[in-house]
Amino acid sequence: MIMRRSLVVGNWKMNGNLASAELLAKGIIAGLGSNNAEIAVCVPYVYIPSISEVVKGSGLALGSQNVADKASGAFTGEISAAMLSEFNCKYAIVGHSERRSYYGDTNESVAARFCQAQEQGIIPILCVGETLEQREQDQTFDVINTQLDAVINLAGINAFNNAVIAYEPVWAIGTGKTASDEQAQEVHRYIRQYIAAKDQTVADKIQILYGGSAKPDNAKGLFAMPDIDGGLIGGASLDAESFLKIYHSI
Ligand code: 13P
In a domain, 31, yes or no: yes
Report which protein residue has its CA nearest ligand 1's atom 1. Answer: 234
pLDDT at 100 over 80: yes
| The predicted structure's pLDDT at residue 101 | 97
Closest CA to 205 of 153, 247, 147, 158: 158
Residue 18 forms part of a structural domain: yes
Contact 56, 90 (CB under 8 A): no
Query: pLDDT digit string (tens) for 129-162?
Result: 999 999 999 999 999 999 999 999 999 999 999 9
In tens, the pLDDT along 34-71 reads 999 999 999 999 999 999 999 999 999 999 999 999 99
Q: Give the domain CATH number at 19.
A: 3.20.20.70
The length of the chain in residues reads 250
The alpha carbon of 249 is separated from its chain's Cα centroid by a whole number of angstroms, namely 18
Residues 123, 120: Cα–Cα separation, whole Å: 9
Ligand 1 midpoint to CA 68 (Å): 21
The count of domains in the chain is 1
Report the alpha-carbon distance of residue 125 to residue 122 in Å, rounded: 9
pLDDT of the residue at 206: 98
pLDDT score at 3: 80
Q: Ligand 1: distance of its center to the CA of 233 in Å?
A: 5
Is 240 a member of any domain?
yes
Whether the model pTM is above 0.85? yes
Q: How many whole angstroms separate alpha carbon 151 and alpha carbon 114? A: 7
- Residue-wise pLDDT tens digits, 109-133: 999 999 999 999 999 999 999 999 9
Residue pLDDT, tens place only, 187-234: 999 999 999 999 999 999 999 999 999 999 999 999 999 999 999 999
Q: How far is the CA of 110 from the centre of ligand 1 (A)?
A: 18
- Look up the domain containing 141 and give its range: 7-248
In a domain, 14, yes or no: yes
- Whether 2 maps to a domain, the answer reads no
Residue 140 sits at φ, ψ, to 5 deg, of -50, -55
Structural domain includes residue 43: yes
Probe ligand 1: pick from 13, 43, 208, max atoms within 8 Å of CB?
Answer: 13
Which of the listed residues 213, 217, 247 should we mutate to test ligand 1's pocket, taking the one with most ligand atoms within 8 A of CB? 213
Instruction: With a cut of 90, say whether residue 173 has pLDDT above it.
Output: yes
